[in-house]
Structure 1
């Protein structure tokens, strides 16, 4: 075979492959939503009588002018509201039952089955993205991304990192410290790292990043669900906090902190933390101003601290009793946030039982007591997406932004039967009111047919 002939064959092959690639690109699945009111999450406003074209897994065009379908599947919204997929910025998908049960009583494969079930349920509740706030969610995130099981996108914080006697120290009272044993418990290996001192905190942070976390979660104070860490306590020294932040920054990502009190929040901000979760025992205006001035994002929760009878019946009595100070400060906390017009993210923090996790969408009703429907929707989309963006190159989803309906964004969309801007409680009942649920350009629920 001559060189000329080989070159001719290669040129023909290359031309074929390029043509095939163009043809394949032209054949991306297309979906056209017509006559929808689009919620613009950045401005918290509604674009009326709009049309949205989806090509593949991205939004190709948003326009108030007609869009040629060119073979697209057409979904007539008939004036209903199209919102971005919802984002839960403080989720514990890896805790479908109690931490103690996970540590001592359940086989890992059974836990995996429970988590897989919860992933699909959360997607059907309209949550197309989760920021996992602790737990080894690396595997379920990968399985979802590979299409093995349905579920939301997951930004995994991986193992919690906390100090001895802290919120992430889940030992029973008579359990010895891991330094006094030859082996760690399953929970200490797979769920939570106890790390004391700068070197241990730095090493634990690096290990969690090695395992695949997109951001790091540490605890700076007592928690509601653990028995041996009083709520008023402050955990981790400034040097230990800075060790975690620097190790995360070396990987171009960030640290989330569990922090309730003024002292723990101020200490976190001084250490360079940009994501403050909870804050429900903030009493001082100075703390809210410090969060604002640092450019940090506050991610509070309200449902779990305003429980109804069903939640109280499903909860642990000791946890309920311990959480009284958090519940007592809700109105004051909201007033401080609103006084300084502080943008907040959206997170639910329900875990421990399927019955509790099923209440996820009730967070919308709670926030609707103090904020408008447009503000709550913005919190659960645009604002929380800003948290996700802080993971930089650790963000597994680099093709476009999340939490918005605009050209180039991921096609995570929900068609709501009604107007949630006027009635945020429509989002409380996704089974009845979410007619279309699309994630990554794929429709997972369609009650309209066609």
Structure 2
């Protein structure tokens, strides 16, 4: 007998009957449980939203088409991310998150929600092809020591700022971005589409080995380092380990794989000119990625390092500012992409006190000028990225303006829109998004910016986000000040 029934049943009654299993009692219990579950869910949701709001991460107000109506952007000039020209007399029809038509002005359906762009220029949403989602908003010390929850909340806040700078998509080339990507895709927080690489795969002593020398030697029974445990980087030596670590990142949802094939400017141990991973090790990563329909990109600066990457089948060279002209021609011949950043040792550059790092930074800055010239001269497939780290996120759009020093403004915009979309497409199904990116064309994702500024004459308007009068990502309007 139930103890509750026993305690509440008068002793004078003949026998004792437990009411806990009666249909009436069970139905009542189900109603109580449902109510408690609903209250807990609402309370939990409020707590989560409150926590995110404290960091400025509460989902921002966005505007989709009213009552399922198509949205028509009209009275505009168009840069479509493909042709290096601006066109007039065209409207943009958006429905279901996609661009469904580019009708001549005045020939769109009548029953639409109209957005008058006031004669301004509409361009595709910008794409940063070398971004570190969880490392852009915090110091290096914080990235390697702070609680993961804090780091991810900071990354979420930076994601919202990234979108408000006009970047509707980023390719994350190293770090634990999977959770934030999911949160953005589900509308929990506002931010750009993320193509994540997951942990950077590095050899021992490589550019992604963040351990201190006093932790060596590493023994088989020892746990992963902090950076490895948090998914910033992972160490792999030999073909079997490279295969294992590559497959782990694919299992987590990597759109593409990132390896380190050479030293870095700020690396504590590995020289800038060092070669990292043998060709066989690189090819193991390439083969594993290819088996999943995607590709490998590689951090590397020097000509010998780039040549080894090309021989192994790496599809995207990250940085590469110390290439020679013969290596640039090799990139063209093998259809290898070049992901370039405006590393110019200017006011936006990282500051170093170590003479070795200062010298390396100077060499890379000089190489950057040559790299842009050769990329244009030899018609390399190349894309724009920033590689902003440790709190410099506010310079993201300003970095793009610097490309106008080397080419026309429309050519520069193309590298952050249409060209970038072509490289993203190499991820195939691993990218996870339907429709083309970086272009304004029928069937493409409706990522659109309405801008105040003459996009044909300069890019200075990018430095001030108030010049972005409308920001649309996937058909949702996240800003409208038209």
Contact 1:54–1:60 under 8 Å retained in 2: yes
Contact 1:221–1:235 under 8 Å retained in 2: yes
| 1:416 aligned residue (451, 464, 480) | 451
1:174 counterpart residue number? 214
| 1:110 aligned residue (150, 160, 165) | 150
Q: CA deviation at 1:69?
A: 4.7
1:238 and 2:286 aligned: no
| 1:285 aligned residue (314, 325, 332) | 325
Q: CA deviation at 1:241?
A: 0.6
User: Any idea what SS the aligned residue of 2:396 has?
Assistant: coil
1:445 counterpart residue number? 479
| 1:389 aligned residue (425, 438, 451) | 425
Distance 1:317 1:64, change over 3 A: farther
1:135 counterpart residue number? 175
2:33 counterpart residue number? none
Distance 1:100 1:200, change over 3 A: farther
Q: Deviations over 1:189-230 (max 9, x none)?
A: 222110000010011000110011111000100012321110
1:275 and 2:310 aligned: no
Contact 1:364–1:425 under 8 Å retained in 2: no
Q: Deviations over 1:274-300 (max 9, x none)?
A: 111111111x22101110011111111
2:246 counterpart residue number? 205
Q: CA deviation at 1:180?
A: 5.9
1:350 counterpart residue number? 388
Q: CA deviation at 1:177?
A: 4.2
2:344 counterpart residue number? 306
| 2:261 aligned residue (200, 206, 220) | 220
Q: CA deviation at 1:100?
A: 4.1
2:54 counterpart residue number? none
Contact 2:471–2:480 under 8 Å retained in 1: yes
1:402 counterpart residue number? 437
> What is the alpha-carbon distance in structure 2 between the residues aligned to residue 98 and residue 246 of structure 1?
35
Of stretches 116-125 and 178-187 in structure 1, the one that deviates more from structure 2 is: 178-187
TM-score of the superposed pair, with normalisation by structure 2: 0.83
How many residue pairs get aligned? The number is: 414
Runs of 4+ in 1 over 4 A off after TM superposition: none
> What is the alpha-carbon distance in structure 1 between the residues aligned to residue 477 and residue 420 of structure 2?
23
Contact 1:29–1:56 under 8 Å retained in 2: no
Q: CA deviation at 1:62?
A: 0.7
User: Any idea what SS the aligned residue of 1:363 has?
Assistant: helix
User: Any idea what SS the aligned residue of 1:278 has?
Assistant: strand
Q: CA deviation at 1:321?
A: 4.8
Q: CA deviation at 1:61?
A: 1.0
Q: CA deviation at 1:417?
A: 0.9
| 2:71 aligned residue (22, 31, 44) | 31
> What is the alpha-carbon distance in structure 1 between the residues aligned to residue 313 and residue 328 of structure 2?
16
Of stretches 232-241 and 184-193 in structure 1, the one that deviates more from structure 2 is: 184-193
Structure 1: where are the runs of 5+ without partners?
Answer: 1-24
2:408 counterpart residue number? 372
Distance 1:423 1:235, change over 3 A: same
Instruction: Please tell me the root mean square deviation across aligned C-alpha atoms, in Å.
Output: 1.7
> What is the alpha-carbon distance in structure 1 between the residues aligned to residue 359 and residue 207 of structure 2?
16
1:253 and 2:294 aligned: yes
Q: Which has the larger radius of gyration?
A: 2
Q: CA deviation at 1:436?
A: 0.2
> What is the alpha-carbon distance in structure 1 between the residues aligned to residue 66 and residue 470 of structure 2?
25
Contact 2:122–2:449 under 8 Å retained in 1: yes
> What is the alpha-carbon distance in structure 1 between the residues aligned to residue 89 and residue 118 of structure 2?
9
User: Any idea what SS the aligned residue of 2:208 has?
Assistant: coil
Q: CA deviation at 1:125?
A: 0.2
Contact 1:377–1:421 under 8 Å retained in 2: no
Q: CA deviation at 1:26?
A: 11
